[in-house]
């Protein structure tokens, strides 16, 4: 995957040094892979950019911006990379900004640099990059160019936060990560079907993981060393450190006991008469289990209940009641099939997993709500709102942006966006509602079957014999 980074240049010396660096002859095969609209050497490019700033009286603030685009080894050759950067610069920056770009071929992976002026030479306005601009404006341009040259799409790598984690920040930098690590282990275990998948989940959370062997009570024991960004030392999965259920042996046992929530359904080919206007193309459909068929059957039974009756002679209130029930049954069927829940046991396992995930998200929500009430975060929100209201011609935008970045470096890193957590919780609540609805219908069906099974057998009237059926003739 190709990665794009974006950095800002705040001083004149850094601007010149950055230009000189990307245009070095030994990195660009004797300046073969250099292009732009501001000059052929570092001195000329720097002079043109500074002249534009002087013409518009914009010598203060940020001096320029630096894009770095990097491909994996063998993913792109210098010629294609040059064409990508040239076309991107022409389309995105055009004739409005002074820019220079270069492809470096001195490493095992091809990568390119673009440096452009912070001042628009046509309007005199400063370049403004706000959150979400990559997705809205830049990504469509890069996707089109990469598709043209049969290259993977570029992904924007956001600058890593330098602030410490919230738990550490809250305790004045003390290493009280125990509860956070336990919560992450519990969540990873509940969403893993193998030990390797569990380790992958922890790495996705940002943990640095090392494995080792320790001697405990005269026997060797496998341990994990877990470390989050911002921690001074790692935590080991030992009984006296995290608890009895957080040793490697206990974690493996918990994962082994963790049943699969989803079961992959079997597929079968439709018969020839079942192919509807598909020519010779055979369609594949998922077979449904007996448990799913019971719920599908309930829908058809209610729908066909009035098929042979005069609708005007039937109780209309009962019809409306059954229509509501049909909608609920259809919801249940869609859920069971889409989530591949093929038995009641799988449904109950899914319900347990939802309860665990809900508890985990609620804990994260409480932390985020507490963080949002802190004075520094309220100041950050105020600055973000101020950025949206600053007119495009005012240079105060850069001052506010610099202050915002300075505050964010000293703040704890948020675990997740609060709105995203709330949306996930709402989805879990809706899924739990459907599960309760399905369980209620299952209970009603079971009760109905039991009541029919225990009905008394009808008694025969005295003196009347039950007729026997012989062929097509009834005979007493």
Is the per-residue pLDDT at 472 higher than 60?
A: no
**pLDDT computed for residue 450 by the predictor:** 62
Give the pLDDT mean for 246-273: 60
The topology (CATH level 3) of 2-156 is BirA Bifunctional Protein; domain 2 (3.30.930)
**pLDDT computed for residue 261 by the predictor:** 40
Judge whether 139 and 156 are in contact, CB under 8 Å.
Answer: yes
Per-residue model confidence as pLDDT tens digits over 308-363: 555 555 555 665 666 677 777 778 888 887 787 888 888 888 898 888 888 888 87
Please state, in angstroms and rounded to a whole number, the distance separating the CA atoms of residues 19 and 102.
10
Judge whether 105 and 28 are in contact, CB under 8 Å.
Answer: yes
pLDDT confidence bin for 203, thresholds 50/70/90: confident
Most confident of 180-184, 206-210, 316-320, 350-354: 350-354
Percent of the chain with pLDDT over 90: 14
pLDDT confidence bin for 36, thresholds 50/70/90: very high
Is the per-residue pLDDT at 280 higher than 50?
A: no
Indicate the Cα dihedral angle 348, 353, 355, 358, nearest 10°. -150
Residue 416 — φ and ψ, nearest 5°? -170, 155
Residue with the larger pLDDT of the pair 178 and 264: 178
**pLDDT computed for residue 390 by the predictor:** 80
Is the per-residue pLDDT at 65 higher than 80?
A: yes
Q: Which long-range CB contacts under 8 A does 365-371 form with residues at least 24 apart?
A: 365/418, 365/421, 365/422, 365/425, 367/166, 367/415, 368/414, 368/415, 368/416, 368/418, 368/421, 369/418, 371/166, 371/412, 371/414
**pLDDT computed for residue 206 by the predictor:** 73
Structure tokens at 3: 């990665």
Is the per-residue pLDDT at 224 higher than 60?
A: yes
Give the pLDDT mean for 439-462: 66
**pLDDT computed for residue 310 by the predictor:** 53
pLDDT confidence bin for 212, thresholds 50/70/90: confident
pLDDT confidence bin for 103, thresholds 50/70/90: very high
Angle between helices 42-56 and 12-22 in degrees, nearest 10: 150
User: How far, rounded to the nearest angstrom, does the alpha carbon of residue 226 sit from its chain's CA centroid?
Assistant: 23
DSSP 243: -
**Of the candidate ranges 24-33, 364-373, 467-476, the one whose mean pLDDT is the lowest:** 467-476
Is the per-residue pLDDT at 286 higher than 50?
A: no
Give the pLDDT mean for 367-388: 75
**pLDDT computed for residue 284 by the predictor:** 33
Residue with the larger pLDDT of the pair 434 and 382: 434
In the chain, CATH 3.30.930.30 covers: 2-156
Helix (H, G, I), strand (E, B) or coil at 416: coil
Angle at CA of residue 421, ends 416 and 425, nearest 5°: 160
Residue with the larger pLDDT of the pair 272 and 407: 407
Is the per-residue pLDDT at 301 higher than 90?
A: no
User: How far, rounded to the nearest angstrom, does the alpha carbon of residue 336 sit from its chain's CA centroid?
Assistant: 24
Give the pLDDT mean for 10-23: 91
Instruction: Give the pairing type, strands 235-236 and 267-269.
Output: unpaired
Judge whether 153 and 145 are in contact, CB under 8 Å.
Answer: no
pLDDT confidence bin for 53, thresholds 50/70/90: very high
- Which are the contacts of 63, defined by CB distance < 8 A and separation ≥ 6? 9, 10, 11, 12, 14, 15, 49, 53, 117, 118
Structure tokens at 54: 């002087």
């Amino acid at each position: 995957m190709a990665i794009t980074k974006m950095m800002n240049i705040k001083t004149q010396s850094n601007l010149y040094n950055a230009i000189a660096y990307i245009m070095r002859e030994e990195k660009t095969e004797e300046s073969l892979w250099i292009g732009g609209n501001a000059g052929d050497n570092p001195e000329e490019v720097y002079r043109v950019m500074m002249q534009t700033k002087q013409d518009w009286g914009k010598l203060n603030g940020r001096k320029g911006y630096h894009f770095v685009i990097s491909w994996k080894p063998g993913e792109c050759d210098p010629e294609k990379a040059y064409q990508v950067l040239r076309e991107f610069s022409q389309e995105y920056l055009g004739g409005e900004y002074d820019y220079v770009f270069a492809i470096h071929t001195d490493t095992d992976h091809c990568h390119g640099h673009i440096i452009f002026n912070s001042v628009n030479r046509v309007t005199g306005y400063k370049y403004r990059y706000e959150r979400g601009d990559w997705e809205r404006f830049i990504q469509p341009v890069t996707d089109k160019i990469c598709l043209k040259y049969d290259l993977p799409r570029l992904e924007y790598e956001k600058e890593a936060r330098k602030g410490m984690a919230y738990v550490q920040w809250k305790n004045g930098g003390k290493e009280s990560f125990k509860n956070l690590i336990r919560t992450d282990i519990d969540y990873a275990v509940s969403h893993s079907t193998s030990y390797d998948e569990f380790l992958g989940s922890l790495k996705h959370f940002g943990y640095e993981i090392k494995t080792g062997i320790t001697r405990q009570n005269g026997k060797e024991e496998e341990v994990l060393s877990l470390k989050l960004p911002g921690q001074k030392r790692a935590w080991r999965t030992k009984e006296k450190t995290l608890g009895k259920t957080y040793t490697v042996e206990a974690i493996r046992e918990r994962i082994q006991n963790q049943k699969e929530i989803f079961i992959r359904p079997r597929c079968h080919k439709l018969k020839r008469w079942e192919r509807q206007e598909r020519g010779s193309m055979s369609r594949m459909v998922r077979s449904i289990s007996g448990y799913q068929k019971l719920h599908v059957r309930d829908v058809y039974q209610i729908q066909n209940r009035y098929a042979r009756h005069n609708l005007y002679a039937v109780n209309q209130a009962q019809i409306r009641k059954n229509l509501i029930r049909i909608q609920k049954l259809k919801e249940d069927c869609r859920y069971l099939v889409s989530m591949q829940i093929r038995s009641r046991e799988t449904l109950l396992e899914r319900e347990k997993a939802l309860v665990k995930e809900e508890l985990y998200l609620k804990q994260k929500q409480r932390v985020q709500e507490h963080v949002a009430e802190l004075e520094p975060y309220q100041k950050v929100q105020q600055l973000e709102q101020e950025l949206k209201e600053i007119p495009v011609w005012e240079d105060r935008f850069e001052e506010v942006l610099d202050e915002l970045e300075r505050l964010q470096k000293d703040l704890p890193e948020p675990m997740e966006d609060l709105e995203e957590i709330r949306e996930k919780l709402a989805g879990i609540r809706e899924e739990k509602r459907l599960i309760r609805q399905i369980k209620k219908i299952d209970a009603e069906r079971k009760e109905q079957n039991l009541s029919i099974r225990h009905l008394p057998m009808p008694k025969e009237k005295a003196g009347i014999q039950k007729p026997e059926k012989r062929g097509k003739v009834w005979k007493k």
